[in-house]
A and B are shown apart, each in its own frame.
Chain A
Amino acid sequence: MGIELPAGVTAEALSEFLLALADDELVLGHRDSEWTAYAPILEEDIAFSNIAQDELGHSLVWFSLCEKLTGKNPDEMAFQRPWEDFRCCRFVAYPKGDFAYTVVRQFLFDVAEQVRLIAISSSSFGPLREISQRIIREENYHVMHSQGLIERLGDATEESRRRMQSAVDVAFPQSLGIFEHLKAEEELVDAGFFPGNDALKSAWLAQVVPVLRKATLTVPVHDHKNTFAADGQSDDGGRQGKHTVHLQALVADLQSVYKLVPNAKW
């Protein structure tokens, strides 16, 4: 019990940061699992079931680290917490949509995750460094997979292009909410704990935009210095607990079995 905090960072700031990580993984993992037995082809069924399992595993890791700060165990966090207390971005909670939306969301999220993990893998905070270095290697498979699907489906047929473009139109503005500032943003940046969400967003844009464009998809951004700047409003609110009804429904579903028989032993 108890961990040594990184210099200049309060337990409250660190747990806010970890909770955002954990909830993003838990909620997207749940959405991914909704493709089990329903994906368009068997290989994708297997892939998304694997990815779901990975994401849930990662959320468990972040919740376990959080437990050392808050005393709440991962089961309490996942199964007993009211949906208003989740701190995932809104993006991950939207319904799974069609397969094009799922692929585009997964790609945008996977790269964001990778960028975030790389930023903290050199953190002065030991536990975070070790864990993120391990998780990055698992996430590399996710990026490889979702990017491969973007490249193949972007201009495969007229139908696939139309669907992928609609997915980008919807998902891209939503995805900007991944980088919504935390309450403790300034504190964490000042302490050198992480470079901040604006820096992460730039690194992310520099990576995702060329891939989408190469796949002939139009992205709502304009060139800005050495990277891009996103046009339009970011879909913020999630990091402050201002969620959409979609998260409410997802959490109800996620917690339904647990609530039938609380504390059941399996």
Chain B
Amino acid sequence: MPLEQRQVHNVAEAKAWDVLQSVQDPEIPALTLVDLNVIRHVKANDQGVEVEMTPTFMGCPALDRMKEDIRIRLQEAGFKNVRVNVNLTVPWSTDMLIESSKEKLQKFGIAPPPVLQESLPATLLLPVQCPFCNSTETRLESEFGSTLCKQLYYCDSCRQSFERFKPL
């Protein structure tokens, strides 16, 4: 969530958010879990820390890995009793990625998701910029890709396949 909406009640919580800001997404290491906006709530005090997160895609196979990474990193930072809970009943969409994520993705070689339109076909009709040569002479090869959160494109200008973060 945007920084200004994040509720930080004490030093421990501020420190926990700092740690989480550096936990990378296992499938797209250019982004952190905070960039993806999947960390929804952090409650911390002297006794321990509780983190609430939500997956990006419901079937995300990296979810357990993310939970484990969060636990390890917080423990390394000195937190005791780390608990990570998964909440499936909160909204998440690619419109909720932190704004700076889009630039990070582009630099990493993955086209960022566009702002969602009124329907999926309308979203997919928007021009897509190749992350390698910036051309928009590109076409969707498959709605799907190498992981649940990506889809396959081809650039007619530099003749390379590339992936885009699947708009959801």
Which B21-78 residues have C-beta < 8 A from chain A? 55, 57-61
Q: Known contacts A46-B152, A141-B144, A144-B121: does B91 contact A60 (CB below 8 Å)?
A: no
From B57, B121, B144, contact of A46 by CB (8 A) = B144
From A57, A137, A144, contact of B168 by CB (8 A) = A137
B132 at the interface (CB under 8 A from A): no
From B88, B121, B142, B168, contact of A43 by CB (8 A) = B142
From A131, A135, A141, contact of B143 by CB (8 A) = A141
From B58, B92, B144, B148, contact of A61 by CB (8 A) = B58
Q: Known contacts A131-B88, A131-B89: does B58 contact A138 (CB below 8 Å)?
A: yes
Q: Are B121 and A126 in contact (CB under 8 A)?
A: no
B interface: dominant SS? loop
Q: Are B143 and A144 in contact (CB under 8 A)?
A: yes
B81 at the interface (CB under 8 A from A): no
From B90, B145, B152, B168, contact of A138 by CB (8 A) = B168
From A57, A144, A145, contact of B58 by CB (8 A) = A57
A158→B60 CA distance, assembly (Å) = 40
How many A-B residue pairs have C-beta atoms within 8 angstroms? Tell me. 69
Stretch in A47-55, A101-109, A191-199, A246-254 touching the partner: A47-55
| Residue of B89, B92, B120, B152 most packed against chain A (CB within 10 A) | B89
CB distance from B143 to the nearest CB of A (A): 5
Which residues of the partner chain B approach A46 to less than 8 Å between Cβ atoms?
A: 142, 144-146, 152
Which residues of the partner chain B approach A138 to less than 8 Å between Cβ atoms?
A: 57-59, 168
A interface: dominant SS? helix
A58 at the interface (CB under 8 A from B): yes
B141 at the interface (CB under 8 A from A): yes
B93 at the interface (CB under 8 A from A): yes
- The number of chain B residues touching the other chain, given as a range, is 20 to 34
A144→B93 CA distance, assembly (Å) = 19
Which residues of the partner chain B approach A137 to less than 8 Å between Cβ atoms?
A: 93, 120, 168
Which A57-75 residues have C-beta < 8 A from chain B? 57-58, 60-61, 64
Q: Are A145 and B91 in contact (CB under 8 A)?
A: no
Q: Are B57 and A54 in contact (CB under 8 A)?
A: yes
Q: Known contacts A56-B59, A58-B58, A130-B91: does B144 contact A140 (CB below 8 Å)?
A: no
Q: Known contacts A64-B88, A131-B88, A133-B91: does B120 contact A141 (CB below 8 Å)?
A: yes
Q: Are B143 and A57 in contact (CB under 8 A)?
A: no
Which residues of the partner chain A approach B61 to less than 8 Å between Cβ atoms?
A: 53
Which residues of the partner chain A approach B88 to less than 8 Å between Cβ atoms?
A: 61, 64, 130-131, 134
Q: Are B148 and A50 in contact (CB under 8 A)?
A: yes
A89→B154 CA distance, assembly (Å) = 39
A127 at the interface (CB under 8 A from B): yes
CB distance from A111 to the nearest CB of B (A): 14
CB distance from A144 to the nearest CB of B (A): 6
Q: Are A130 and B89 in contact (CB under 8 A)?
A: yes
Which residues of the partner chain A approach B59 to less than 8 Å between Cβ atoms?
A: 53-58, 60, 138
Name B's A-contacting residues (CB within 8 A): 55, 57-61, 88-93, 120-121, 141-146, 148, 152, 166, 168
Question: What are 27 A-B contacts with C-beta separation under 8 Å?
Answer: A43-B142, A43-B144, A46-B142, A46-B144, A46-B152, A47-B143, A50-B145, A53-B148, A56-B59, A57-B60, A58-B58, A58-B59, A60-B58, A61-B58, A61-B88, A126-B89, A130-B88, A130-B90, A130-B91, A131-B88, A134-B58, A134-B91, A140-B120, A141-B166, A144-B120, A144-B121, A145-B144
